[in-house]
Amino acid sequence: MTDKKNDREDATRPSVATPAAPAAKQGDGKRTPEEWAPTFGQVRPKTFEETITMVNGKPFDFVGQFLWQHEAAVVLHGWKLHAHHAGEPFRLSKADYEAALKAASETNEKGEYTPHPAALSPHAPKTEPKPELPEEEE
């Protein structure tokens, strides 16, 4: 026998179950850059001296957890800005992460870094092409 009062309360009470993650995130093979970093050896090993650095009485990592290629890719592709504005980390495929590392490590013929399009966050800073400077005559 059911209690009608409790049935009514349950019907008006919002569900507390958490919604499932979107299907695109469950089996698409995409991960965050931080999840891909160990796969490509981009996590910087810590030395003993770095583990005891203290600032204002608190442990402080003055260099960072990742190698420079990963950190350069983070800035070039706007992944931290994405996490801030979108409220969730940027996700990309293994091939796109590898291409992003390469893009952040090499310059084009003009000496500029060009982000890998598939790894570029929509929240990345917009860069405008530099105007061509006229050649100086001697």
pLDDT tens digit string along 35-70? Answer: 998 888 888 776 655 555 667 877 666 566 788 899
Which residue type, as a one-letter code, is found at position 112? E
Q: 1-5, 10-14, 67-71, 100-104: which range is least confident on average? A: 10-14
Residue 30 and residue 92 in contact, taking contact as beta carbons nearer than 8 Å: yes
Q: What is the mean pLDDT of residues 67-87?
A: 90
Choice among 6-10, 15-19, 50-54, 95-99 with the minimum mean pLDDT: 15-19
- Write down the pLDDT at residue 4: 52
How sure is the predictor about 23, in pLDDT bands with cuts at 50, 70 and 90? very low
* Reported confidence tier of residue 22, pLDDT bands at 50, 70, 90: very low
Length of the chain: 138
The two most distant CA atoms of the chain are separated, in Å, by 100
Q: Tell me the pTM.
A: 0.61
Q: What is the mean pLDDT of residues 10-32?
A: 52
Distance CA 51, CA 46 (A): 7
Mean pLDDT of the chain: 75
